[in-house]
Structure 1
Amino acid sequence: MTQKWLSVVGIGEDGLAGLSPIARSLVDRAEVLVGGDRHLAMLPTDERERLVWTSPLRDSIEAILHRQGQAVCVLASGDPMCYGIGVTLLRHIPLTEMTILPAPSTFSLACARLGWSLTEVETVSLCNRPPALLHAYLYPGARLLILSESQQTPAIVAALLTQRGFGNSSMTVLERLGGAYERHVVGTASTWSETNLANLNAIAVECVAHSGVTALPRTPGLPDDAYHHDGQLTKHEVRALTLSALAPMPGELLWDVGAGCGSIAIEWMRSHPRCRAIAIEKTRTQYIADNAAALGTPGLHIINGKAPDALQDLPQPNAIFIGGGATTDGMIETCWAALPQGGRLVANVVTIEGERLLFQWHEKLGGTFTRIAIQRAEPIGRFLGWRSLAPITQWAVVKP
């Protein structure tokens, strides 16, 4: 069996006193101790080697790897597997070489203080992540638990809530949870003014929307006016049908080829926090960036380029949507070749030439071939009449 040389020990604000006997033994027998200044300061002074986390973090990871064979102990805040260093280390070191002992996470401690059920709250970390992530979690009645990056984070969150029409939401900042100096600061988003806060804090939010504020659903087919665009937008009815055909699953990657304002990629990512997407677009990348931030998917990867050339060397997708440029030479061939077995390809066109091309591919590879015709009731004088949108031809296929 492989020797377990690395231990990752979760430690709370109560320091060594809060460790279990097993966790304490791993700390005591370690030859090398790794952690932040705050964690290492909890330990008694001795001659053992100590490594403080560096920026970039990869330098510290390399330093740990170079000490393989020695007894190395990494100290982590709370649960190392909850937005913690344990997740990062497992990308470089197999679990067979590690022992991971968690302490209660910040989320668990916060729920214990507030009387909230952890299974009924939205949890998100803003540590080294953009605050725009919160846009995807806002709805009336939502309870949010947010890991702060610093003492400035609560004010940033309060401003974002107010901007989105949730200024009446109650906020509780929980500092130094589990320690002798634990403190709770309570207020309202629209009037939040507290700045004398500890860097180590979490934010609990109970979302209350202003009258007239309409929250955006997580289901596909957001209202068209949710997007900033120049007219190149997949209409919400077609968007819903297209996302249904793409069938996103947690953790999967989408290529949105000819992304326009990015609506398909954004709604793919909104379907689950672990869904990822790459938007490939030549002329409207600023629209995509603005929409991704406003709709809670700032992690959308945007490539300014023209497919199929811009598709070279991208990570392999689980699904591809071709929303523009299907008739470009080599487009469908390149996309089809990029898909793994079981990968999905969906292409929408509005021209006769595009329809003819998709029909040829349908005859060759199978799948479903669908005409989508939408009519909306609009005023005609004092009456209502039907106005037809441009019909969409859609080809959807799964790679065998």
Structure 2
Amino acid sequence: MHEIVVAGIGPGHPDYLLPAAAKAIAEAKVLVGGRRALAQFAKGAGQKTMAVTRDIAAVMDFIRQETETAEVVVMVSGDPGYYSLLDALRRHFPVTKLRVIPGLSAMQLAFARLALPWHEARLLSFHGRVPAEKELLYEKGSLLGMLTDKKNTSKTISAVLMAHGWPKETRLFICARLSYADEKIVRTTLGEAGDLPEISSGILIAVDEEGFDAARTR
């Protein structure tokens, strides 16, 4: 069995792709990834590809078959260690056969855009899931980073947090299309977010005012 290289491709724009990942992708004989990633990075002739779909079992079967004769490169958005296909790969293949190339996550980029340290942040995902109740509870001085999706959006998540004790005055940053030319960051509050245009598939950062004072730059 040949090696499986799991390459983080960053938040989207090629400028944020690590050189090690770019090299692995360019040299890959077999390349697996989302349709958008394949359209962006696949080289065409001579490179065998498969798009990742909801049929994860079929993707794993394809990888298993191809690793009999060649190394397989699997592209994942952001960083492989943060809510990616890496979990499934670990369940289906020996860890010794996985080589992971890290990437810049959209979460990291969101905090960077705000010049806000994130070492004390609580990170949650509403992307295809709902966090446990205890993870949503308000704590004074909290800093919360959240992945969103088309169902769990800037409007619905704001309402959920307020229902779990977060003050309506809590500072909220709504980050969308990070790294792209049409990148957008909306600065508002939990209480005001419900009256603004709904934004999905991005990053939300909620900051309790007391904990935000020391880091306020804007």
TM-score bracket, normalised by the shorter chain, equals: 0.7 to 0.9
Mapped contact 2:10–2:106 kept (Cα < 8 A): no
Superposition pairs of residues 115-194 of structure 1, within 5 angstroms: 115-131=115-131, 133=133, 135-150=135-150, 152-166=152-166, 167-192=168-193, 193-194=195-196
Q: How far is 1:133 from its partner?
A: 4.2
Is 1:201 the equivalent of 2:202?
yes
Q: Secondary structure at the match of 1:104?
A: coil
1:131 shift after superposition: 4.8
* Aligned-residue CA RMSD (Å): 2.5
Q: Aligned partners of 1:53 and 1:143: how far apart in 2?
A: 33
Is 1:8 matched with 2:6?
A: yes
Counterpart code for 1:11: I
Name the structure 1 match of 2:100: 100
Query: Alignment partner of 1:41: what SS?
Result: helix
Q: Deviations over 1:331-385 (max 9, x none)?
A: xxxxxxxxxxxxxxxxxxxxxxxxxxxxxxxxxxxxxxxxxxxxxxxxxxxxxxx
Sequence identity of aligned pairs in percent?
27
What's the CA shift for 1:138?
2.0
Q: 1:80·1:102 contact (CA, 8 Å) conserved in 2?
A: yes
Per-residue CA deviation, residues 171-225 of structure 1 (Å, 9 max, x unaligned), is 111112233332101222122133353x43110001369xxxxxxxxxxxxxxxx
Rate the CA distance shift 1:161–1:121 in 2: closer, same or farther, 3 A.
Answer: same
2:203 partner letter: A
SS at match of 2:92: coil
- CA distance in 1 between counterparts of 2:113 and 2:76 reads 21
Query: What is the CA distance between 1:52 and its match in structure 2?
Result: 1.6
State the structure with more CA Rg: 1
Cα deviation, residue 17, structure 1:
4.1
C-alpha contact 1:107 1:118 (8 A) present in aligned 2: no
Aligned partner of residue 40 in structure 2, secondary structure: coil
Paired residues for 1:290-329 under 5 Å: none
Structure 2 residue aligned with 1:46, among 25, 36, 44? 44
What is the number of residues matched between the two proteins?
A: 206
Using structure 1 for the length normalisation, give the TM-score. Answer: 0.47
Structure 2 counterpart of 1:19, one-letter code: L
Alignment of 1:1-400 (within 5 A): 3-4=2-3, 6-43=4-41, 46-47=44-45, 48-69=47-68, 70-131=70-131, 133=133, 135-150=135-150, 152-166=152-166, 167-192=168-193, 193-197=195-199, 199-207=200-208
Q: Is the 8 A contact 1:14 1:178 kept in 2?
A: yes
Q: C-alpha offsets along residues 68-124 of structure 1, whole Å, 9 cap, x if unaligned?
A: 232211111111012222233122222322221111122322221223222211011
Alpha-carbon distance in 1 for matches of 2:55, 2:2: 28
